[in-house]
Amino acid sequence: MTGRPLTGTMGANMAARPVVAILTLGCKLNLADSEEIARSLQAAGFATVDRVCEAEAFVVNTCSVTHVADAKSRRLVRSVRRLAPEARVAVTGCFPQSTGEAAAFALGADFVAGTRDADKAALVEFLSANLPSRNATQPAPGTNAPRPVGSAHARAFVKAQEGCNDVCAFCIVPQTRGREESRTVVRVVAEVQAAVESGAREVVVTGTQLGAWGRDLAEPQKPYQLIAQILEQTDVVRLRFSSLQPQDISPELLALWEDPRLMPHFHLALQSGSDSILQRMRRRYSAHGFLLAAERIRAVSPDAAITTDVIAGFPGETDEQFEETLKLCREVGFARIHCFPYSPRTRTAAARMLNRVSAEVTRERMGRLTALNDELSARFRSRFLGTVRPVLWETERQSEDGPQWFGHTDNYIGVYALGHALRNRLTPTLLNGLYHDGMTGACPPEES
Ligand code: F3S
C-alpha cells in the first residue's frame, strides 16, 4: 500500500459522520486520485481515513501495472471483505479497468468503478445512497483543498494530467488510464494553492505522462509553463514534479530549478539501457539521450536525486543487452532503481512476443539489479553524510527506542529521527548515518 499509516485519532467532528476508509495501491497518480475521492466524500458529509479501521465503507483504489500488482489488489479486496463483512466495499482504479468489472465483483465488491472523474462521482453517489446516515449539511472543514491522504497534511498530491497516447509495448496503463487529457493551468494552480492553505508544505504534481501535459489544450503549452505558473501564483513551499521522460528535460524546464522551492529530484523511467530493447519497447529515447538528460540535470542541480524504473527480462533481452542496462545505470549513478521483472499484460504488444526470457534468468537479473540498486543508493546517500539538508517530517511510528519520525530531504532521501513531535515541520537536519534505504537524522530542537 502506498500510504503510510496515520497515527492520529479521529476528531469528534469525524467520529460523528460515517467513516470511509480509502486504501491505495500503486503510484503517486493513484494517491492523487485517492485524495480527490476523499475530498468528494468529505464534501458529501463523510469522514475519510487512509488505513484499515472500523469503517462503514471501504474504497480499495487498486493498481494493475504487473501481475504482482493485480495479486495485491485482489488480496486487499478479499481481506477487507473478510475483516468487515457488513461494510460496503468499493473497488476503484486500474485493476477493474484492466481486468473488467466482473473480476472485482467476484472478489466481493459492492461497487466497481474505473479511473475517470465520472467514476469518482458515481462512487460518491453510490455511498450516499447506501450510507444515508451521513450529515451532508455539515461537510468537513477544508473540503475544497487536496487533503493529504497518506502523510497527515505534510504532502499533497495534485493531478495535472491523465492518460497516455504512447503505446509502450509492455505497458497496460494506456488501457487503464485512457487518452491524454490535461487539466488547465487555472485548475492545477487552484488545487496547489488549496493544498497549501490546508496545511501541506509540499505538493507533488502527478500525471500518467506528465511530459505530455499541455499538448492537448486548446492553446498547447509545455510542462515548464505549468511549473512556472505554479511557482508564480501559489505559496507552495516545496514542489515536486512526479515523473518525466528524458526528452522532456529541456533548458527552459531546468532553468526553473534555480527556484529553491522546486525539489532537486527527477524520476525518469529508463526501463532498459539497450537501444534495441528500447526500440522494441517503443520508448522514444536512446540510451545516449538518457545519459545526456542526466548530465543536463547534474549540471544545474549537482545534488539532485535521479531515480528510475527498470524492467528485467523483457522478451528477447539477451545477457549483453542486460549488461548494457547495468552499465548505463552505473553511468547515470541513480539514487534509486525500482526494479521490476517483466510481466506480460493482456492486450499489450509485448505479451504477443514469442521470445520470452525464462523465469530463472529473469530472477537472476532481478537479483543483480537489486544489488546494483543497493550499491548505487548507498553511494548516493553516503555523499550527504555529515551534511545538513532540509527535511519535511511526514509520519510517525513507534520503534523500540520510542517515537520515530520519518520525512524526506529536498533530494528525496528518506530520513528517520527519534524524538519529540515533528509532523509537518520543515527543519535543517544533520544527516548522521545510513539506515535501511534512507538515513538517520539528528532530531532538531523543539519549536519554541
Ligand atoms: Fe498502477 Fe494504475 Fe498507477 S496500473 S502504477 S495505479 S497508473
What's the pLDDT tens digit per position in 132-186?
A: 666 544 444 444 444 444 444 799 999 999 999 998 999 999 999 999 999 999 9
CA 61 to centroid of ligand 1, rounded, Å: 10
The conformation of residue 142, written as its DSSP 8-state character, comes to: T
Rounded mean pLDDT, 86-91: 96
pLDDT computed for residue 132 by the predictor: 66
pLDDT at 1: 33
Q: What is the pLDDT of residue 420?
A: 82
Compute the chain's Rg from CA coordinates: 22
Lowest mean pLDDT among 2-11, 98-107, 160-169: 2-11
37 within 8 A of 120, measured Cβ to Cβ:
yes
From the alpha carbon of 62, which atom of ligand 1 is closest?
A: 6
**pLDDT, tens digit, for every residue of 323-354?**
999 999 999 999 999 999 999 998 999 999 99
Alpha helical stretches, state H, 218-318: 223-233, 251-255, 275-281, 287-300
CB within 8 Å of 370: residues ≥ 6 apart: 339
Ligand 1 atom at minimum distance from 172 CA = 4
Coil/strand/helix, residue 68: helix
Confidence of residue 11 (pLDDT cuts 50, 70, 90): very low
- Ligand 1 atom 7: residue of nearest CA: 173
- Helix boundaries (H) for 19-66: 28-43
Averaged pLDDT for residues 304-308: 98
Picking from 337, 338, 339, 336, the residue whose alpha carbon sits closest to that of residue 408 is 336
CA 223 to ligand 1 center in whole angstroms: 21
Q: How far is the CA of 191 from the centre of ligand 1 (A)?
A: 22
What is the average pLDDT across 297-308?
98
Q: Whose CA is nearest to atom 1 of ligand 1?
A: 63
Residue 30 in contact with ligand 1 by CB distance below 6 A: yes
What number of other Cβ atoms are within 10 A of residue 141's Cβ? 12
pLDDT at 169: 96
The pLDDT-based confidence of 445 (bands split at 50, 70, 90) is: confident
- For 383-435, the pLDDT digits (tens) are 999 999 999 999 998 888 888 999 999 999 999 999 888 889 999 999 999 99
- Which of 286, 364, 387, 378 shows the shortest CA–CA distance to 334? 378
Rounded to the nearest angstrom, the distance between the alpha carbon of 448 and the centre of ligand 1 is 43
Decide: 94 in ligand 1 pocket, CB within 6 A: yes
| Half-sphere exposure for 220 (CA within 13 Å, toward CB) | 5
Cβ(404)–Cβ(370) under 8 Å? no
What is the C-alpha separation between 350 and 372, in angstroms, rounded? 26
Q: What pLDDT was estimated at residue 139?
A: 44
Cell of 56: 462503514
pLDDT of residue 101: 92
The atom of ligand 1 lying closest to the CA of 69 is 1
User: Does the structure show a pLDDT above 90 at 212?
Assistant: yes
DSSP state of 199: T
Distance separating alpha carbons of residues 265 and 412, to the nearest angstrom: 6
305 CA to centre of ligand 1 in angstroms: 23
| Gap between the Cα atoms of 72 and 24, Å rounded | 11
Do residues 427 and 388 touch, judged by C-beta distance below 8 A? no
Which of the listed residues 98, 176, 346 should we mutate to test ligand 1's pocket, taking the one with most ligand atoms within 8 A of CB? 176
- How distant is the alpha carbon of residue 125 from its chain centre? 27
Measured CA to CA, the distance from residue 285 to residue 46 in angstroms comes to 46
What global pTM score does this model have?
A: 0.90
Q: pLDDT category, 4, cuts 50, 70, 90?
A: very low
- In this structure, the strands spanning 155-162 and 181-182 are antiparallel
The preferred substitution site among 31, 64, 166 for testing ligand 1, maximizing ligand atoms within 8 Å of CB, is 64
Q: If you measure from the C-alpha of residue 63 to the centroid of ligand 1, how many angstroms do you get, rounded to a whole number?
A: 5
CA of 260 to the centre of ligand 1 (A): 30
Distance, in Å, from the CA atom of 224 to the CA atom of 256, rounded to the nearest integer, reads 8
Assign 3-state DSSP to the chain and report helix, strand, coil percentages, each to 5. Answer: 40, 25, 40
- Each residue's pLDDT tens digit, 247-288: 999 999 999 999 999 999 999 999 999 999 999 999 999 999
CB 307 within 8 A of CB 270: no
**Percentage of the residues of the chain whose pLDDT score is greater than 90:** 83
Q: What is the predicted pLDDT for the residue at 135?
A: 53
Reported confidence tier of residue 447, pLDDT bands at 50, 70, 90? confident
pLDDT bracket for residue 117 (50, 70, 90):
confident
Q: Percent of the chain beyond pLDDT 70?
A: 92
Task: Please state, in angstroms and rounded to a whole number, the distance separating the CA atoms of residues 171 and 349.
Answer: 9
- The residues, any chain, with a CB within 8 Å of residue 424's CB and separated by 6 or more, are 152, 153, 154, 199, 201, 392, 393, 394
Q: Which amino acid is at 155?
A: R
